[in-house]
Amino acid sequence: MIGGGQGAFIGGVHRIAAQLDNAYELVCGAFSSNAEKSKASGEMLGIAPERVYASYKELFEKEQQLPEAQRVQVISIVTPNHVHFEPAKMALESGFHVILDKPMTFSLEEALQLRDVQERSGMLFCLTHTYTGYPMVKEARQLVASGKLGQIRKVYVEYPQGWLSTFEEGGENKQASWRTDPKQSGIAGAMGDIGTHAFNLAEYVSGLAVTKINADINVVVDGRQLDDDGAALLKFDNGASGVLVATQVAAGEENNVRIRVYGEKGGLEWQQEDANTLQVKWLDRPNEIYRTGGGNYLSSYAQHNTRTPGGHPEGYLEAFANLYRNFALCVQARLKGEEPQPEWQDYPGIEDGVRGMAFIENVIASGQSNQKWTDFTI
């Protein structure tokens, strides 16, 4: 693991996600750019001291020298955005599979480079767009893909948060500080942090690609350096249209990511606050409630990504763990020279990362433009 030392948030989530299904063992790490902190974090995590490194460069060098059987196989990178590209590139080039936190890089330019590196390396790559790990989100994608809803016409996606309603970045709040700092986060704040999640979810569930954006991007809180709010009208490649909302100043909101998709014959609705439910809506008969663990009416994708019987809720950590588990299944299949099952391959990858970075650049460009519609370009 690169990053995720004491005081970090997402590193701990990654560790739980990795170990939840017993598919990974945490064997080495460079947990902080500060060597002392890295050491302390490694000790706390029970890592053998000789495999706690002062930097990710050292990690790659030293691990490559270990015999293959002892060497780490998968590198998990959980640093702030500006420290994504270099370690990911080095990891892939050093022959390690990579799990990388989103957004993929600091810029689209880096993302395109990383795609080249990954393709050349032949190593596997996963980007942790967590929400696509929920069983009912997978069910939603399968339902759209099945054609049962008819051709898709509308996609509404939103990610409202309230935690940046005041100027948090001055003080102790490490999360607020780096996420609002252009040097660490890049050109976007809310759009990079949560807008990319919403964008990824919209494309994942609908199976469509955004082609045009018309965005309103705002800095609401005085003194903030990056956008903390925005909304965008969208056009998709099949002619559908939609709306994306991402805001960090909706006071009183937590993380209620929500998506609604409507086709000619029906629609669906999913929201994180009721993550084990998929509402399925029909033009001419009663709406239905699909549930995690609900049984044979669910697709193999939903069933594969479920651990508990219906009614015992699974949550964010399980969704995250689904990404890790599916990635591990693909890594293991490769080790065995077997073809991974389609359900295992259903995790976000390098292309999602490129499109996510393109979203950031396009949505910010649209926000700054007087032109109504900006073509979604990569």
| Ranges within 307-336 binding a copy of itself (CB under 8 A) | 307-318
**In angstroms, rounded to a whole number, what is the distance separating the alpha carbons of residues 361 and 202?**
17
User: How would you classify the pairing of strands 152-160 and 210-218?
Assistant: unpaired
In the complex, least distance from residue 24 CB atom to a copy of itself, rounded to whole angstroms: 10
- Give me the phi and psi of 374, to 5 degrees please: -105, 125
A 10 A CB-CB count for 285 gives 8
Where does this chain touch a copy of itself (CB under 8 A) — which range of 72-80, 183-191, 214-222, 342-350? 214-222
Told to check if 21 binds a copy of itself by CB under 8 A, we report yes
Of 219-258, binders to a copy of itself (CB under 8 A) are 220, 229, 231, 233, 241, 243, 245, 247, 249-256
What distances in angstroms separate CA 189 from CA 19, 100, 113, 335, 360, one per listed residue? Answer: 30, 19, 22, 39, 9
Where does this chain touch a copy of itself (CB under 8 A) — which range of 71-79, 107-115, 182-190, 282-290? 282-290
DSSP string, 218-267: E--STT-SS--EEEEEEEETTS-EEEEEEES--TT-----EEEEEESSEE
Q: What Rg do the C-alpha atoms of the chain give, in angstroms?
A: 20
Told to check if 270 binds a copy of itself by CB under 8 A, we report no
Pick one of 109, 216, 338, 375: the residue that binds a copy of itself (CB under 8 A): 216
Q: Which is nearer to a copy of itself, 117 or 230 (CB)?
A: 230
Told to check if 178 binds a copy of itself by CB under 8 A, we report no
Where does this chain touch a copy of itself (CB under 8 A) — which range of 56-64, 176-184, 190-198, 304-312? 304-312
305 contact partners, CB below 8 Å, separation of at least 6: 133, 134, 135, 138, 322, 326, 343
The binding track of 77-116 with respect to a copy of itself, each residue x by CB under 8 A or -, is ----------------------------------------
In the complex, least distance from residue 377 CB atom to a copy of itself, rounded to whole angstroms: 18
The binding track of 38-67 with respect to a copy of itself, each residue x by CB under 8 A or -, is -------xx---------------------
Going by C-alpha positions, the residue among 184, 233, 181 that lies closest to residue 211 is: 233
